[in-house]
């Protein structure tokens, strides 16, 4: 483990002990409105929402596009920080949603997360401090075409989470527009921590997803920061009401290759090529559940989404 990661790890443990007792415990019913309904947002609805919220909270939010999908839809990205139009030396964090078009819970949860930050900044001390000390980026939908088509893959039929450069095995399929946009964006930034949001199970998955010796599924492929990754996944799992109680995954966390081996994934790419600590969050056993459960899914993930950001904030606090 590098000195940077040791410092990051110790800082995150310290900060979680200091503020874990009371931070971010408010519920949706605390009197602050989300500002939108619990329903799925198509591309037009997502665009309208992001434009509206970034205007309403322009003092902390800046909306831009990192590129376009294969069907020419914008890959909207929202920056959230206290000076959203100025480059500052602050820890950078990234959430990526909806990489698989038919895994929609993460997309909607991130919409509510953005609205919640907008509503609570300047009102809630902990949210305000987090935004002031951290540079947060959110790509709500990496695969807007797939969402519109209600398919896992992008419009060209490729799985975007098998399309990134890989340290063990180069993907055989041509790099897609969405993948090119995300890799270019990550290369331009210096992200400390991030997660991409999926559906189909309920677990926090950490590197490595691939293996050097091409072992089959069930082989634990240990990264240099295995202990740190277990700690980070534990933060999310333990702040989710049911993830940590998983019968399939002890503590609600798993090594990627031990679950199933894959190559060309975002988390291994981010970590191996850019030293960005990155995990995969599986948020729902149902990939595209009925709209009636979206409020419950948001409430289940709200605290965890905030607390997973704390190690990024704590590294800033420890170095200030």
Residue 265, both tokens: 């994934």
Residues in contact with 223: Cβ distance below 8 Å, sequence separation at least 6, in sequence order: 206, 207, 208, 229, 271
Local confidence pLDDT in tens for the 320 residues of the chain: 443 444 344 444 434 433 443 444 433 233 333 446 899 999 999 999 999 999 999 999 999 999 999 999 999 999 999 999 999 899 999 999 999 999 999 999 999 999 999 999 999 999 999 999 999 999 999 999 999 999 999 999 999 999 999 999 877 899 999 999 999 999 999 999 999 999 999 999 999 999 988 767 788 999 999 999 999 999 999 999 999 999 999 999 999 999 999 999 999 999 999 999 999 999 999 999 999 999 999 999 999 999 999 887 655 444 44
Which residue among the candidates 108, 133, 178, 282 is catalytic per the annotation? 282
Helices of type H across the chain: 3-19, 43-56, 105-120, 125-133, 144-149, 177-188, 226-238, 256-259, 266-274, 294-319
The question of whether 187 is a catalytic residue gets the answer: no
Judge if pTM exceeds 0.75. yes
Q: Measured between alpha carbons, how far is 243 from 237 in angstroms, rounded to an integer?
A: 5
């Amino acid at each position: 483990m590098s000195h940077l990661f040791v410092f990051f790890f110790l800082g995150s443990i310290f900060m979680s002990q200091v503020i874990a007792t009371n931070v971010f415990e408010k519920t949706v019913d605390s009197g602050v409105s989300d500002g939108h309904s619990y329903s799925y947002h198509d591309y037009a609805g997502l665009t309208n929402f992001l434009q509206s919220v970034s205007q309403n909270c322009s003092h902390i939010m800046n909306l831009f596009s990192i590129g376009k999908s294969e069907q020419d839809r914008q890959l909207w990205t929202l920056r959230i920080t206290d000076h959203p139009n100025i480059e500052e030396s602050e820890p950078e964090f990234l959430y990526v949603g909806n990489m698989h078009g038919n895994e929609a819970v993460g997309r909607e949860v991130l919409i509510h997360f953005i609205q919640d930050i907008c509503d609570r900044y300047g009102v809630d001390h902990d949210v305000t401090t987090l935004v002031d000390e951290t540079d947060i980026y959110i790509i709500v939908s990496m695969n807007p075409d797939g969402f519109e088509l209600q398919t896992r893959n992008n419009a060209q039929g490729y799985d975007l989470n098998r399309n990134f450069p890989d340290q063990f095995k180069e993907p055989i399929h041509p790099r897609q527009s969405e993948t090119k946009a995300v890799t270019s964006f990550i290369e331009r930034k210096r992200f400390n921590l991030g997660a991409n949001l999926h559906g189909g199970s309920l677990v926090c998955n950490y590197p490595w997803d691939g293996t050097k010796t091409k072992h089959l599924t069930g082989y634990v492929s240990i990264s240099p920061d295995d202990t740190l990754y277990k700690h980070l996944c534990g933060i999310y799992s333990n702040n989710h009401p049911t993830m940590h109680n998983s019968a399939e995954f002890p503590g609600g966390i798993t090594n990627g290759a031990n679950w199933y081996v894959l190559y060309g994934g975002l988390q291994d790419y981010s970590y191996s090529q850019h030293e960005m600590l990155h995990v995969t969050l599986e948020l729902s056993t149902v990939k595209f559940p009925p709209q009636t459960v979206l409020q419950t899914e948001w409430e289940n993930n709200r605290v965890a989404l905030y607390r997973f950001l704390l190690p990024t904030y704590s590294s800033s606090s420890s170095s200030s």
